Amino acid sequence: MLLAVDVGNTNITFGVLNGEKIVATFRMMSQTAHTSDEYGNNLIAMLRNNGIDRKEIEGIIIASVVPNVMHALVNSMIKYLGKHPYIVGPGIKTGIKIVTKNPAEVGPDLVVGAVAGYELYGGPVIVVDFGTATTYVIVNEKGEFTTGVVSPGIRISAKALWEDTAKLPEIEIKKPASILAQETISSMQAGLVYGQIGQTKYIINEMKRESGLTNMKVVATGGLGRMISEEVEEIDHYDPNLILHGLRIIYEKNRKTKPATEAFGDTE
Distance CA 126, CA 242 (A): 13
- Considering the domain architecture, whether residues 78 and 116 belong to the same structural domain is answered as no
Q: What is the pLDDT of residue 174?
A: 92
- Considering the domain architecture, whether residues 32 and 134 belong to the same structural domain is answered as no
Residue 164: active-site member: no
In terms of residue numbers, what domain contains 120? 97-246
- Considering the domain architecture, whether residues 120 and 189 belong to the same structural domain is answered as yes
- Is the distance from CB of 144 to CB of 114 less than 8 angstroms? no
215 belongs to a structural domain: yes
Q: What is the CATH number of the domain that holds 18?
A: 3.30.420.40
251 belongs to a structural domain: no
Distance CA 25, CA 261 (A): 26
Distance CA 79, CA 37 (A): 8
Distance CA 53, CA 201 (A): 44
By three-state DSSP, how is residue 4 classified? strand
254 belongs to a structural domain: no
- Considering the domain architecture, whether residues 233 and 104 belong to the same structural domain is answered as yes
Distance CA 12, CA 22 (A): 16
- Considering the domain architecture, whether residues 104 and 179 belong to the same structural domain is answered as yes
- Considering the domain architecture, whether residues 142 and 238 belong to the same structural domain is answered as yes
- Considering the domain architecture, whether residues 75 and 25 belong to the same structural domain is answered as yes
Q: What is the pLDDT of residue 22?
A: 97
- Considering the domain architecture, whether residues 112 and 62 belong to the same structural domain is answered as no
- Considering the domain architecture, whether residues 173 and 236 belong to the same structural domain is answered as yes
111 belongs to a structural domain: yes
Q: What is the pTM of this model?
A: 0.91
pLDDT in tens, 179-227: 999 999 999 999 999 999 999 999 999 999 999 999 999 999 998 899 9
- Considering the domain architecture, whether residues 233 and 195 belong to the same structural domain is answered as yes
Q: What is the pLDDT of residue 182?
A: 92
- Considering the domain architecture, whether residues 76 and 173 belong to the same structural domain is answered as no
Q: Which residue stretches of the chain have pLDDT < 70?
A: 258-268
What's the domain count of the chain? 2
Q: What is the pLDDT of residue 136?
A: 98
User: Which residues lie closer than 8 Å to 68 by C-beta, 6 or more apart?
Assistant: 33
Q: What is the pLDDT of residue 32?
A: 81
- Considering the domain architecture, whether residues 105 and 206 belong to the same structural domain is answered as yes
Catalytic residue among 6, 37, 53, 109: 109
